[in-house]
Amino acid sequence: MKTIVEEVKNHLTEDIIPFWKSLRDNEYGGYYGYMDYYLNLDKKAEKGCILNSRITWFFANAYTLLKDESLLDEAKHGFAFMKKCMDKENGGIYWSMKYNGEPEDTTKHTYNQAFSIYALSSYYEATGDEEALNMAKELFTIIETKCTDELGYMEAFDKEFNLVDNDKLSENGVMADKTMNTLLHVFEAYTELYRVAKLPEVKAKLEWIMDVFADKVYNPELHRQEVFFDAQYNTILDLHSYGHDIETAWLMDRGVEVLGDAAYEAKMSPITKDLTAQIYKIAFDGRSLANECEKGVVDTHRIWWVQAESLIGFLNGWQKDPSKTEYLEAAKAQWNFIKEYVVDKRNGSEWFWWVEPDGTPIKKPIVEPWKCPYHNGRMCFEVIKRLS
């Protein structure tokens, strides 16, 4: 385990951090939004606000962990761009900006607001900057007043928060009113906001979200979460997202830990254990994790973020129940697969988007609005903190 920690820390400091530092845009702010498979950087590509909030989150947490002042400078640079992403007239964070910092896609999405809260909470922890905490509180209020119905979170809105089609978070040929993915990341964001600020109104919403997960999203008969829903939380597609289930398992456990409520630990722990066990049983092949299963057909691509989350999830499962040594072995095997096949060893690159089960890379962008240091950076943070 000591070797793994050393390897992961070295990968974080020698590969991931320098790569994302190199994408800093000192002319227009934020970080460049696109690099293709062949490592061609497009400095005039749109800058996703999710991308930039996740990069800000990454550097803030890297600084908190490593205490390198250059990382704090990067976090401050990201925070400055996040302020540009805010709609000062209508509130909320835009979906994306032009390369020069002007609004590009003015959609307001609950998922995007959540990741901004996530980043701002970590930035506040790193800096003590009250402006960041106030922005996080403002976005919390926006989600709870403009994006919520009696059952859960509606997702996609125009600039003035009128409801629109949820095409940005819908996939697999369906148009979902509500998604497990957005609910999960609102929970994740609120966990961090509660951890750094201990606001009672955030605690109440964390409890509410866990109730929704347990009662509406988790399917005990199939030992999985449902993914896409109509407005009444009826599932609309037979889909098992392996990566989201293993990610949910450890994020829910983290939320329960931060909350410190024995009743919710008793309610959620059997669910997170079930999700972890099922993923290990049906999706892990001994060295890496398949992507998902739609209508009985498994997508065997090895997606970068799924591999990162499975390492954390299996490590978390073992730490919650040390008798499950198979989870520890799975985490070790997953790291070996990542460092051998998912890490792109070309100079000036980072991780491949996806690879075949045998490790052959598929030619997808290295950087784009969804491809960032959130999953793999967090994997490094978690390994270092959990095993050091």
Handedness of CA 358, 362, 366, 372 (dihedral sign): negative
Q: Does residue 234 have a pLDDT over 90?
A: yes
**DSSP codes of every residue in 261-293:** -HHHHHHHHHHHHHHHHHHHHHTB-SS-B--EE
Query: Sorting pLDDT into bands at 50, 70 and 90, what band is 368?
Result: very high
Q: Which CATH number applies to 2-387?
A: 1.50.10.10
Q: For 260, left (φ over 0), alpha (ψ -120 to 50), or beta?
A: left
Question: How many Cβ atoms from other residues are within 10 Å of residue 134's Cβ?
Answer: 12
Distance CA 277, CA 86 (A): 41
pLDDT tens digit sequence for 350-366:
999 999 999 999 999 99
Q: Does residue 304 have a pLDDT over 90?
A: yes
Q: Does residue 335 have a pLDDT over 90?
A: yes
Residue 368, CA distances (Å) to 41, 128, 341 in order: 10, 30, 20
pLDDT tens digit sequence for 260-270:
999 999 999 99
pLDDT tens digit sequence for 10-30:
999 999 999 999 999 999 999
Residue ranges of the domains in the chain? Answer: 2-387
Please give the DSSP secondary-structure letter assigned to residue 355.
Answer: E
Mean pLDDT for the chain overall: 97
Residue 1: the pLDDT is: 84
* Gap between the terminal Cα atoms of the chain: 9
